[in-house]
Amino acid sequence: MKRHFLGAVTMAMLLSACATGYHSASNPLLGLTGGYWDQPGPGRLIKVGFSGNGYITRDKVATYLLYRCAEVAQREGGSHFIFYTSLPDAIGDRRSSERIVNAIGGKPATYAYILVVSEAEPDALSATEVIARLGPVVKPTPKQGGVS
Amino acid sequence: MRAARFLLPLAIMLSSTACMSTYRMPAGTPSASLRVPPGVTTWICANGPAQILPKGKDGRARIPAGERITIGANFATSDGYMNYFCSAGVSLQPEKDAGYYQDFETEGDRCIALVYRETDDARVGLAFEPTVGRSGAGCTR
């Protein structure tokens, strides 16, 4: 019992000293540091967000958000998505391709609204292309160790 | 420490709404539906001071239609060192049986609470509400 408690404390201390990784904010353990989330609506939009802790950079949060938007678009059965930084932009159909990230209390967090579409259209982002482009940054493959 | 992190915003939120009673719509009043955001306390001024607007399990609240009302939200959070509190609202004149969406967004230490009209006519399912204006002058919170 005491060992479990110490293990949990150690894990919490390790997590609190690491930058937020690319994982769901609802992850029972890793989610303590933040992560991605999404919720349907309003209207036909999907709100996608990423929240980080004080160790992650704003650029990285922006990258993670865009990558997650592409994953959500594929999950919803779309090949492309239209990226809006606010609801007024969505209503006015002012499309974007990136999001400026602000921080509250030193913790960067951001969100965007996406409209998932089934085919290419002007200024719509290809989910496949975004995942291919950002994948090496978001989900880097572990370096192979070996003997020469 | 972790408990304090959750309890502190709760305490701030409670203190900011402690003087508010809960809004009850008068019987027979024409109404509209408002989807409210999670994580904030939504309030309403309808011919009186601000009152907490109760929502149903579906995340929607009934609001009076045909009269100008002010809808707003309070938000509180803490990072363990600093407390953040923000309150914002707008006025509008809801249409009977129409659907609305309250959006509460924070950027840094600023916040905005706007209300949009839900509609099937727009591609994104949402439109600007033409009656939206400044928060009511007689509305205190």
| SS3 category, A126 | strand
* CA distance, residue B82 to nearest chain A CA (Å): 7
Q: Identify all chain A residues contacting B84, using CB atoms and an 8 Å cutoff.
A: 104-105
Does residue A28 have a cis peptide bond before it, meaning omega lies within 30 degrees of 0? no
User: Does residue B8 carry a pLDDT above 70?
Assistant: no
Burial of A99 (0-12, 13-18, 19+ CB in 10 A): buried
Q: Identify all chain B residues contacting A91, using CB atoms and an 8 Å cutoff.
A: 116, 122, 124, 126-128
The candidate with the shortest Cα–Cα distance to B45, out of B141, B137, B139, is: B139
Question: Cα dihedral angle (A68, A141, A119, A92), rounded to 10 degrees?
Answer: 30
User: Does residue A33 carry a pLDDT above 90?
Assistant: no
| High-pLDDT (> 90) share of chain B, % | 63
pLDDT band at A83 (very low <50, low <70, confident <90, very high): very high
Instruction: Tokens 């007024």: give the residue.
Output: A88
- Encoding tokens for residue B34? 């408002």
Strand pairing partners for B69?
Answer: B92
Instruction: Tokens 């890793």: give the residue.
Output: A30
User: Does residue B126 carry a pLDDT above 80?
Assistant: yes
CA distances from residue A38 to A5, A69, A74, A89 in whole angstroms, order as listed: 32, 9, 13, 19
Higher pLDDT, B81 or A139: A139
The candidate with the shortest Cα–Cα distance to B33, out of B59, B52, B72, B57, is: B59
User: Does residue A146 carry a pLDDT above 70?
Assistant: no
User: Does residue B14 carry a pLDDT above 80?
Assistant: no
Q: Identify all chain A residues contacting B103, using CB atoms and an 8 Å cutoff.
A: 42, 87
Q: Identify all chain A residues contacting B114, using CB atoms and an 8 Å cutoff.
A: 87
pLDDT value of position A148: 45
* Nearest CB partner across the interface for A45, out of B82, B84, B124: B124
Contacts of B136 (CB under 8 A, 6+ apart): B45, B68, B69, B70, B91
The candidate with the shortest Cα–Cα distance to A42, out of B132, B106, B128, B126, is: B126
The reply to whether residue B116 touches residue A115, judged by beta carbons under 8 angstroms, is no
DSSP A140: P
| High-pLDDT (> 70) share of chain B, % | 82
The reply to whether residue A91 touches residue B79, judged by beta carbons under 8 angstroms, is no
Cβ of residue A103 closer than 8 Å to a chain B Cβ: yes
Cβ of residue A15 closer than 8 Å to a chain B Cβ: no
The reply to whether residue A43 touches residue B106, judged by beta carbons under 8 angstroms, is no
pLDDT average, residue stretch A72-96 = 96
The reply to whether residue B124 touches residue A115, judged by beta carbons under 8 angstroms, is yes
DSSP B37: -
Q: Identify all chain B residues contacting A107, using CB atoms and an 8 Å cutoff.
A: 79
